[in-house]
Chain A
């Protein structure tokens, strides 16, 4: 079972932590960028540093001394697009990276839903092959979990660019795009993220990898079978080759970090053997520190 019985409990906990400890900064910062032009008053929210003072509710401040911002309908509808890599490379590892990725997507979706944001989930491999349309409300977490649980890994490759194009063609509003993937994209991960940037999406990359991908215990003669393309390569792995592999892997990881840093994108890199809630907590802490 992908989602154990205490999963929702843990999600609730994360949601509370996100609001009370981290003041919703995991997603709220982006929210302030999404200046809506709506006029219908919807709700108050607490003032955070950097918020526009024009939306400060003077009455409440006069009466109670609290700094609260008025939330209008457009502003509070943050669209969170959770792009889940469902290529076969995500099924690698023990436990598979795909499981952690789905847990993460479920957690982020719940946090967003709890904060009255709208959430959409896009499953992609070498293109979008499944989608959960934009939805809101905490009660939607169950269908989301069902959706995630039913997702397979498939496809014969990974193409983030094509997936992003597919999202854009579906008329997605700008918002927050969280890419949960191992970024083993033979076309290059940059192209897909560039598309998101060009469309003014606020992108956050969560890159997962299995420890054996970073340090394969592989020496001698072997046939390497790519689980995505099923291509076979006969190699003789020497210690020298292994050392080169590790170097290349590290360079790839560094390239992802550098790209995100360059373009001010959020970046979280983690091995897949970590618990999803620990990873979310880490993301919260890192987002609190700032990018």
Chain B
């Protein structure tokens, strides 16, 4: 036996005053009485002090010395070598993914796991250490190796739900680093088992868990189970042990696994919704998928899903406005519903209680998507008259077209200027689209006419060229343009002449389409309106038709509208309303070198912010003085929607619950207990007047 605080033995000197007081106290107090008449009668029958009376004081002294010895030893904190040598390092990996919210295990799977974790902490042996790791999308160590039970308990109590998917492998890997080279490391993974099968096999390969002897029969009826201690994977290694504890049943669930929205490529007002719903149960389920856009109902789709069915559909709708698209599963019943006209007859009687056993997880019953809005654009066409040019713009319902034959006195700054043919010497600032330039300007010099140019080269990556092929368009005539600064080619001929180009300039965007619309069939091709639509989108700065919805746990970079000042502060607001500050990146200063001219510098400043991991389902917002961007986040995880644990967990025998048993506490605890007992005995004897 060793002692952690041997200096505590100096407290044994307190025994000296105890003995001294004992000796002094042995002298009896003298009490004068008026008469001994009555006392004589009382003590006539027996001697006033027997042998017991003489020695009971000694017993009191011994009790007090024992009490002092117990306290001194407790303060000296003795320990045995086996306590040090057998000390364990436990890593509790707690899965707080979305599926752990399921209520099939009362009150929830996560609460059951936390309760089991608390029991493990209560059963720690002296000098055992425990670390707690959360198995979220990013593993997180909430408590490092510690033997302080209150700290561990508080950390466990502080674990909250998340909407993240399960990532056990990263958490176990992190835990391995905490265990290090300790000879008695052990992992206990508290999860619901709703993980991918390959992740389980990877666990077995990576951490080589131990196999323990089975102590109980495996649970057959998992439906009534409230949590089972589970098995290990079969690899045997003496160094590291992984134990899985499953808190789950074969619970049924139905959830939305996909919800995306995008603008139509053809219809400016149209958009498409991609939705997927999974019935992760062995029963047929009927329900409704209610879609709404900014709380305005868009559609209600009745669903009759077979067992294990994954329902997926693309739905087309029309809306000028954008906003938040929400999908919600409602009226979940078992069986199927038959739609007759406008009424829906349920083949199974609607039962609120039945709904609760069909859907144990509510997180995936709601999904979000963001639909980009459409803005009206103003277009000023300066042309001597080209019906096709005017109509192609007028065909877009989001465009307000104004046509002039001459140049205005003041160029409108909020409009896209379409110059057909005649050009001012200096192109106006802002967004300019030049079609079939008839002269030179500040950006180029007009060259000779090209006969029958054939487009051989196109920039397929540019958004301006989406869904366009110009190589088969007949263009009898085009003008040569000698640009003062090299433009960005969108379409070129074999000889290198630009047919369609983006000219970079400091005071606005500029496109030039070097094609004679009056001659050729470009105006008749579908490429022309698509080209115009692409150019309108490009001029407006919209990033495209799609604002992707992300799964929970994602880290992403979001481009922000540059309407802010450099000193503004930015924050990220979560769906539950909590905000946290974020840092944005301002990027882009491009220098364009022109070999034939002085170098021009064009500034392209853009703001982006990297946010995440996004741990909640809903719409996240980045805002400064106003909302700058939004991101929709959904669970969107088929494995998390399927609450049923892997079958492998139920095929192996269970393990015993490992508790510390007797003598798990430090030795000083038992010494203090002995001291309390001795005090109680001394007090009892005193109260009974057996000692004074």
> Shortest beta-carbon distance, B347 to chain A, in Å?
84
Interface size class of A (residues with CB under 8 A): 35 or more
A150–B41 CA distance with the chains assembled, in angstroms: 35
Identify B35's interface contact among A89, A93, A218, A223, CB under 8 A.
Answer: A89
Contact (Cβ within 8 A) A225 B32:
yes
Assess the B42–A239 pair: CB atoms within 8 A.
no
Question: What are 20 pairs between A and B in contact, CB < 8 Å?
Answer: A89-B34, A92-B32, A182-B34, A186-B35, A213-B34, A213-B35, A216-B33, A221-B53, A221-B692, A222-B31, A226-B33, A227-B33, A229-B36, A233-B36, A233-B43, A234-B49, A235-B39, A235-B48, A236-B53, A245-B42
Q: In the complex, which residues of chain A have a beta carbon less than 8 angstroms from the beta carbon of B53?
A: 221, 236
How far does the alpha carbon of A245 sit from the alpha carbon of B53 in the complex, in Å? Answer: 20
A220 at the interface (CB under 8 A from B): yes
Query: Closest residue of chain B to A184, judged by CB?
Result: B35
10 shortest interchain CB distances as A-B pairs: A92-B34, A184-B35, A89-B34, A220-B692, A248-B38, A235-B48, A226-B36, A222-B31, A223-B28, A223-B30
List residues of A (192-222) whose CB comes within 8 Å of B's CBs.
210, 213, 216, 218-222
CA distance in complex: A226, B30 (Å):
10
In chain B, positions 1-39 with a C-beta closer than 8 Å to chain A are 28-39
CB atoms of B38 and A252 under 8 A apart:
yes
Q: Kindly list 16 other residue pairs between chains A and B, CB separation below 8 angstroms, not including A213-B33, A228-B35, A236-B53.
A: A89-B34, A93-B34, A186-B37, A210-B34, A221-B29, A221-B692, A222-B28, A222-B30, A222-B31, A225-B30, A225-B33, A226-B35, A228-B34, A241-B43, A245-B39, A248-B41
Main secondary structure, interface of A, reads mixed
> Is residue B689 within 8 Å, beta carbon to beta carbon, of the partner chain?
yes
B29 interface neighbour in A182, A223, A239, A248, Cβ under 8 Å: A223
Which has the most chain B C-beta neighbours within 10 Å: A186, A216, A228, A235?
A235
Closest-CB distance, A269 to chain B (whole angstroms): 15
Separation in Å of the B30 CB from the closest CB of chain A?
A: 5
A245 to B28, CA, bound (A): 20
Q: Specify which chain B residues have a CB less than 8 angstroms from the CB of A248 in the assembled complex.
A: 38, 41-42
Taken together as a complex, chains A and B put the C-alpha atoms of A290 and B363 apart, in Å, by 101
Chain B residue, CB-CB nearest to A219: B689
Contact at B34–A224, with CB atoms within 8 Å?
no
User: What residue of chain A has the Cβ atom nearest to residue B691's Cβ?
Assistant: A220
Please state if B36 and A249 are interface contacts (CB–CB under 8 Å). Answer: no
Chain A nearest Cβ from B476, distance in angstroms: 131
Whole-angstrom CA separation of A3 from B49 in the bound complex = 45
A241 touches B31 (CB 8 A): no
Q: How far is the CA of A64 from the CA of B48 in the complex (A)?
A: 74
| B-contacting residues, A252-283, CB 8 Å | 252
Establish whether residues A238 and B38, one from each chain, have CB atoms under 8 Å apart when the complex forms: no
Give the Cβ gap from A241 to chain B, nearest Cβ, in Å: 5
Query: A184-B37, A234-B48, A235-B49 in contact; A224/B31 too (CB < 8 A)?
Result: yes
Alpha-carbon separation in the docked complex, A164 to B405 (Å): 160
Which of A182, A224, A231, A234 is packed against the most chain B CB atoms within 10 Å? A224
Is A239 within 8 A of B38, CB to CB? no
Residues A224 and B42 in contact, CB atoms below 8 Å apart: no
A244 at the interface (CB under 8 A from B): yes
Number of A-B residue pairs having CB atoms within 8 Å of each other in the complex: 85
Q: How far is the CA of A239 from the CA of B31 in the complex (A)?
A: 17
Q: How far is the CA of A231 from the CA of B43 in the complex (A)?
A: 15
- Distance between Cα atoms of A231 and B38 in the complex (Å): 14
Q: Which residues of B contact A (CB under 8 A)?
A: 28-43, 48-49, 53, 689, 692
User: Is A225 a contact of B31 with CB atoms below 8 Å?
Assistant: yes
User: B54 to chain A: closest CB distance in Å?
Assistant: 10
List the B residue with the shortest CB-CB distance to A182: B34
B33 — which chain A residues lie within 8 A by C-beta? Answer: 92, 213, 216, 224-227
Give the docked Cα–Cα distance between A36 and B138 (Å).
Answer: 126
A284 to chain B, nearest CB (A): 28
The answer to whether A224 and B39 touch (CB under 8 A), given A210-B34, A216-B33, A239-B689, is: yes
For A249, the chain B residues whose CB sits under 8 A away are: 38
List B contacts of A233 (CB < 8 A).
Answer: 36, 39-40, 43, 48
Contact A236 B36 (CB under 8 A): no
Output the least CB separation between B180 and chain A (Å). Answer: 63
Residue from the set A186, A220, A221, A223 with the largest chain B CB neighbour count within 10 Å: A221
Chain A, residue nearest B40 (CB): A233
Nearest CB of A to B320, in Å: 99
Please report the C-alpha to C-alpha distance between residue A232 and residue B30 in the assembled complex, in whole angstroms. 9
- Most A CB within 10 A of own CB, among B38, B43, B53: B38
Chain A residues positioned under 8 Å from B692 (CB to CB): 220-221
Enumerate chain A residues within 8 angstroms of B32, measured Cβ to Cβ.
92, 225, 227
List the A residue with the shortest CB-CB distance to B53: A236
Known: A218-B31, A225-B32, A226-B33. A236 touches B38 (CB 8 A): no
Q: Residues of B contacting A235 with CB < 8 Å?
A: 39, 43, 48-49
The 8 Å CB contact of B48, one of A89, A186, A236, is A236
Instruction: Kindly list chain B residues whose C-beta atoms are within 8 Å of the C-beta of A252.
Output: 37-38
What is the minimal beta-carbon distance from A89 to any residue of chain B, in angstroms?
Answer: 4
Whole-angstrom CA separation of A231 from B42 in the bound complex:
16
Residue with the highest number of chain A CB atoms closer than 10 Å, among B30, B35, B40, B692 = B35
Separation in Å of the A252 CB from the closest CB of chain B? Answer: 7
Q: How far is the CA of A227 from the CA of B42 in the complex (A)?
A: 19
B37 nearest CB across to chain A (Å): 6
- Cβ-defined contact, A224 with B36, below 8 A: yes
Q: How far is the CA of A224 from the CA of B41 in the complex (A)?
A: 14
Q: What's the minimum C-beta distance from A38 to chain B, rounded to whole angstroms? A: 45
Contact pick for B689, options A220, A223, A234, CB 8 Å: A220
A227 to B30 alpha-carbon distance, docked (Å): 11
CB proximity of B690 to chain A, nearest CB, Å:
9
Task: Tell me the nearest residue of chain B to A91, going by C-beta.
Answer: B34
Closest-CB distance, A115 to chain B (whole angstroms)? 34
Known: A233-B48, A234-B49. A244 touches B31 (CB 8 A): no
Residue of B nearest to A247 (CB): B38
Minimum Cβ distance to chain B for residue A228 (Å): 7
- A241→B53 CA distance, assembly (Å): 15
User: How far in angstroms is the closest Cβ of chain B from A164?
Assistant: 20
Q: A160: shortest Cβ distance to chain B, in Å? A: 14
Bound Cα distance from A58 to B32, whole angstroms: 63
